[in-house]
Amino acid sequence: MLLVVLVVAAGVGAPNWLGRQIEQQHAAYLQQLEGLGYLQVENAEYERGWFSARADYELILDPRFALPLAQLFADLDVPQEPFRIGVSERITHGPFTGGMASLEGDVEVSGWLVGEVVAFEGGRSNQRYAARIGYDRVVHGEWEPMEMAVSAGPLLSDLGLNTRYVMDYRGGDFSFDPGSGEYRATHHMGPSRLEEPAAVHTFESSTSHHLVRFSSGVLRELRLQSRDSLTLSERRDVDQPLDTRIEDQTVDIGLHFDDQGRFESIVSRLGIEGFQGQKPDQYLQMDGMALEFTGSRQGEYSWYGELGLAFDGLEMREKGSPGVSLDAMQFQLGLEPESEASLELVTRLSSRDLRIQGMEEPLEYHVESRLGQLQRAGYDELWRLFYRAMDEFRVDDPDASLAVLERVGEAGMAMMGDRSTLAAKPVTLRIGDADLDMALEADVQLQDFALLGEQALFSPGNRLEFSADVSALLVHKVARESIRQQYNGLTSPPEGKALEAMAKDLVAEELASMLELGIVRREAGDRYTIHLQLKDGELLLNGEPGEWLLGQF
């Protein structure tokens, strides 16, 4: 009998105890949101019963974020509340819910940005969800499917951006761990359509993943990953029609913040597979493309990072021009700290199996260069001026930040400094079996390099070294293709022996004087070489004094 009484008492009392635990967790959650510094919690209400509870609250973007909007749109009356999220939850306490509690919620967005920038057709701007809270206090939930149409609000319409987006949301799931401060969500989209005055874009389906991570109440990471299946775009412009097709597209963006919640770094990647673009006189196709960007903040303002672009299986045709195709091409541009006082600009460009219509053999090349000894103080000043110009910019007075922009040129000159180093190596070029290898290193005062005068270049401390090794076969092939392109479009371009003879005569004519003067040497193995050195005020050409060379130019 006592056991039965205890079981009944536990069954009746457990929901009340669990209700108090959930209320405490809810209060801690709101306190964590307010601790972020850019959100305010208003109109928070919590009504707890024995078996259930109701929670309502609103999240408002900090009014300080409305100040830049007020400055940007000075001729508009911008309210203090640009963005508001209203949340309403109905909570059922355990223990018969599979955890501490289950809940149903409703999220609705409103505010000036929603009313002016976007308009929800049908009046619906909310999304519903159902969730459960486990005994480990982790929240797991599902978003309810919905259909929605969003069009441009008055602000965008006045600017001519009359867009409309119709989506079929297939639902998703989410989780929140208050211990680690991680919020994760997955969303699934069915067929969707984006309409704008000049084009229509249709999306077959997509899946996206989101991550928001807090640490001690401070935002530390935002992450977005998405994958879109077939995407079609049709441009309505009669003068410039354009149709594109993308079989698969992926996006990965990660934003990281320091322990004070300030934006610290970004890692992003855009991938495309199976792209086709067509105009009446142009056609572009590629198997894949990848665009990657990484950036990190150092100090108060300055950013460093790298941009990478890669193409696979590209083919391009245009009426009246030779068609181009390639197996792979890569481009990288990076800005890296070199020392405490300087930085360097790094570029890399390479291509494999590049074919130009009319060429008998594919082209392959690789170029890597570095521009160093750029002054970090000047670079930091450029970023400081950029932030200041952004703060002072106004739509109704675009010249308000003009004084700041005028100082950008001065900061740019200060960034270049008095000296600079330039390296271009390795530089390689291949056409079939024919090849070229080249390298350049220079350390000179910038004003001397710009003058290119004898006295200037021979200033103490200037150093330059250039070398090239090229096969005679490559020189001949380049001359042959140059002649072929010159005759492009003619009814009877030279071919066969006639083209070979013209190429041979062109090479002999161009190299004769250079060989005679000793600027270029012909080596064993049928190759041409040149080696130029400038050091300690002395110029050497292929190992011999070469001051006379400047007089030839």
| Phi/psi at 4 (5° precision) | -65, -40
Q: Is residue 375 part of a domain?
A: no
Cα gap 41→59, rounded to integer Å: 5
Q: Would you state the pLDDT for residue 2? A: 41
Identify the CA nearest to 140 among candidates 96, 178, 111. Answer: 178
Cα gap 338→216, rounded to integer Å: 35
- Containing 144, the helix (H) or strand (E) segment is none
Cα gap 313→349, rounded to integer Å: 17
- Containing 139, the helix (H) or strand (E) segment is strand 139-143
Asked if the bond preceding 460 is cis, omega within 30° of 0, the reply is no
Cα gap 157→495, rounded to integer Å: 60
Burial tier of 87 (Cβ tally within 10 Å: 0-12, 13-18, 19+): middle
Q: Is residue 488 part of a domain?
A: yes
List C-alpha distances in Å: 237 to 163, 234, 508. Answer: 15, 9, 52
Asked if the bond preceding 95 is cis, omega within 30° of 0, the reply is yes
Asked if the bond preceding 178 is cis, omega within 30° of 0, the reply is no
Tens of pLDDT, residue by residue, the chain (553 residues): 544 444 444 455 567 787 788 888 888 888 877 776 677 888 999 998 888 899 999 988 766 665 555 555 555 555 556 678 899 999 988 766 778 889 999 999 887 777 777 888 876 678 899 999 888 889 999 999 998 898 888 877 777 778 899 999 999 999 999 888 899 999 999 999 999 888 899 999 999 999 999 887 788 999 999 999 999 998 877 666 778 999 999 999 999 998 888 889 999 999 999 999 988 888 999 999 999 999 999 888 899 999 999 999 999 998 877 789 999 999 999 999 888 899 999 999 999 999 988 777 899 999 999 999 999 999 999 888 888 877 776 655 666 667 777 788 888 888 888 888 899 999 999 998 899 999 999 888 766 555 555 555 667 778 889 999 999 999 888 888 788 777 765 556 677 788 888 888 888 888 888 888 888 898 887 899 999 998 887 888 888 887 766 665 4
Identify the CA nearest to 62 among candidates 89, 33, 86. Answer: 33
Burial tier of 381 (Cβ tally within 10 Å: 0-12, 13-18, 19+): buried
Final residue before a domain boundary, out of 119, 154, 180: 119
Q: Is residue 246 part of a domain?
A: no
Q: Is residue 139 part of a domain?
A: no
Cα gap 100→19, rounded to integer Å: 8
**Cβ contacts of 196 within 8 Å, gap of 6 or more:** 161, 162, 163, 164
CA atoms within 13 A on the CB side of 497: 0
Q: Is residue 321 part of a domain?
A: no
C-beta separation of 126 from 106 below 8 A? yes
C-beta separation of 308 from 291 below 8 A? yes
Q: Is residue 277 part of a domain?
A: no
C-beta separation of 149 from 164 below 8 A? yes
Q: At what angle do helices 496-517 and 472-486 cross, to 10 degrees?
A: 120
Final residue before a domain boundary, out of 94, 119, 144: 119
Final residue before a domain boundary, out of 119, 153, 176: 119
Q: How many residues make up the chain in this entry? A: 553
Cα gap 85→206, rounded to integer Å: 25
Q: Which amino acid is at 474?
A: L
Number of domains into which the chain is organized: 2
Cα gap 415→381, rounded to integer Å: 9
CA end-to-end distance (rounded Å), the chain: 112
Domain hosting 16: range is 1-119
- The H-assigned helical ranges of 394-521 are 402-416, 446-451, 454-457, 472-486, 496-517
Q: Which amino acid is at 181?
A: G
Burial tier of 189 (Cβ tally within 10 Å: 0-12, 13-18, 19+): buried
Q: Is residue 501 part of a domain?
A: yes
Cα gap 353→345, rounded to integer Å: 27
Structure tokens of 427? 């530089």
Q: Would you state the pLDDT for residue 4? A: 43
C-beta separation of 131 from 140 below 8 A? yes
Identify the CA nearest to 193 among candidates 166, 229, 226. Answer: 166
C-beta separation of 503 from 483 below 8 A? yes
Cα gap 511→479, rounded to integer Å: 12
**Cβ contacts of 57 within 8 Å, gap of 6 or more:** 30, 41, 42, 43, 44, 45, 86, 87
Bridge-based pairing of strands 126-133 and 118-120 is unpaired
Q: Would you state the pLDDT for residue 9? A: 42
Cα gap 182→175, rounded to integer Å: 8
Measured from the Cβ of residue 454, the count of other Cβ atoms closer than 10 Å reads: 12
Q: Is residue 544 part of a domain?
A: yes
Q: Could you give the 3-state DSSP secondary structure of residue 207?
A: strand
